[in-house]
């Protein structure tokens, strides 16, 4: 078994707990280099996390001989650029979600990696978390019979940072993120549903900016249909009075209800009553998915989240954002 030596491009907040330590703790995996354009911040990250090398230029990290694979953890606006650069250097790529700002950018990333014959993975880590795999098991065991439809509801209050128009977060700046919080958060929800119910073949929706707090949409209502014929509807609103996060998968014998962004119990309701499944997420939430990637790179497994599956999620969101009122 080979130890996969990782380099991170963009060692920001997401890498502090979710992914950076996971690259160090996964079996046959080692974090050997990090890069950030601010050299002092790159150096600080490397020192705090025990990483041997740091860079302030992405090409230096990509072409470093001790780096086997590249993790792109920058905002979406640079995902395509760095993925293409890494692919040209024949380095496998693991890229943060959403995979890119648009489906077209995703396709360019897939093509670059295919041309170089290197794998491409996307950080839709719920595909490997035990709590979500339990939902998959319940569906495969037909605990709710034949699935008929899905409802997704996510609404939140505005963040304090959203109220400063002169210093808005990148997640609500479309030229950086590809949209608003819908793109950031709904991507996880839609990707997981496609994982357990199969690809989404049709999607549409209406997006609006109701609160006028930032340039991006702040509400999206969407409808979608899976290749299996299962239908879905969803509402995502980010200027509401309260916080709600619930997805329901409804079948002929019952339903499964769960939250996507906390570890509250998964609830199974059938004619036999109500059953709860409580599972905490691991401390480094990307570690289970990273382990599948390391195993695939070593030829001993298969990761459930690829460039192809990640691009499909971006395509669905593109369809829902086509109509903006």
| Together in a domain, 265 and 165 | yes
Q: Which domain holds residue 239?
A: 130-280
| Together in a domain, 58 and 144 | no
Decide: helix, strand or coil at residue 222. strand
Within-domain flag for 313:
no
What is the residue-level pLDDT of the chain in tens, covering all 325 positions? 899 999 999 999 999 999 999 999 999 999 999 999 999 999 999 999 999 999 999 999 999 999 999 999 999 999 999 999 999 999 999 999 999 999 999 999 999 999 999 999 999 999 999 999 999 999 999 999 999 999 999 999 999 999 999 999 999 999 999 999 999 999 999 999 999 999 999 999 999 999 999 999 999 999 999 999 999 999 999 999 999 999 999 999 999 999 999 999 999 999 999 999 999 999 999 999 999 999 999 999 999 999 999 999 999 999 999 988 8
Within-domain flag for 269:
yes
| Together in a domain, 196 and 114 | no
Task: Give Cα separations from 101 to 18, 136, 231 (angstroms).
Answer: 22, 28, 25
What's the structural domain count of the chain? 2
> Residue 90 has which token pair?
């024949």
Whether this prediction's pTM lies above 0.85 is answered by: yes
| Together in a domain, 111 and 253 | no
Say if residues 7 and 30 touch (Cβ distance below 8 Å): no
Burial call 42-64: b when 16+ CB within 10 Å, e when fewer: bbebbeebebebbbeebeebbeb
Q: What is the pLDDT of residue 61?
A: 98
Within-domain flag for 316:
no
Within-domain flag for 109:
yes
Q: What is the pLDDT of residue 324?
A: 83
Within-domain flag for 84:
yes
| Together in a domain, 185 and 234 | yes
Within-domain flag for 105:
yes
Burial call 127-138: b when 16+ CB within 10 Å, e when fewer: bbbebbbbbeeb
Within-domain flag for 218:
yes
Q: What is the pLDDT of residue 267?
A: 98
What length is written for the chain? 325
| Together in a domain, 135 and 274 | yes
Task: Compute the C-alpha angle 36/180/206, nearest 5°.
Answer: 155
């Amino acid at each position: 078994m080979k130890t996969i030596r990782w380099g991170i491009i963009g060692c920001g907040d997401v890498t502090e707990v979710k992914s950076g330590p996971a690259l160090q703790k996964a079996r046959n995996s080692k974090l050997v280099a990090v890069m950030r354009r601010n050299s002092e911040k790159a150096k600080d990250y490397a020192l705090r996390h025990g990483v041997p090398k740091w860079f302030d230029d992405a090409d230096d990290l990509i072409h470093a001989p001790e780096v086997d694979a590249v993790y792109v953890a920058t905002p979406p606006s640079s995902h395509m650029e760095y993925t293409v650069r890494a692919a040209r250097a024949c380095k496998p790529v693991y890229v943060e979600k959403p995979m890119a700002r648009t489906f077209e950018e995703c396709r360019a990333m897939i093509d670059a990696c295919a041309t170089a014959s290197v794998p491409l993975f996307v950080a839709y880590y719920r595909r490997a978390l035990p709590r979500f795999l339990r939902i998959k098991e319940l569906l495969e065991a037909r605990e709710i019979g034949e699935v008929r439809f899905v409802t997704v509801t996510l609404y939140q209050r505005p963040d304090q940072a959203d109220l400063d128009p002169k210093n808005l977060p990148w997640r609500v700046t479309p030229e950086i993120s590809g949209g608003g919080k819908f793109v950031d958060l709904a991507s996880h929800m839609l990707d997981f549903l496609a994982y357990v119910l199969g690809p989404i073949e049709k999607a549409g929706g209406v997006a609006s900016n109701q609160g006028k707090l930032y340039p991006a949409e702040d509400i999206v209502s969407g409808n979608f249909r899976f290749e299996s014929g299962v239908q879905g509807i969803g509402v995502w609103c980010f200027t509401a009075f309260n916080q709600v996060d619930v997805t329901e998968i409804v079948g002929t014998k019952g339903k499964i209800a769960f939250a996507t962004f906390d570890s509250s119990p998964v609830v199974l309701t059938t004619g036999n009553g109500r059953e709860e499944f409580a599972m905490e997420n691991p401390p480094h939430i990307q570690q289970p998915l990273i382990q599948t990637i390391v195993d695939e790179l070593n030829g001993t497994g298969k990761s459930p989240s690829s460039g192809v599956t990640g691009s499909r999620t971006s395509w669905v969101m593109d369809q829902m954002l086509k109509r903006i009122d």
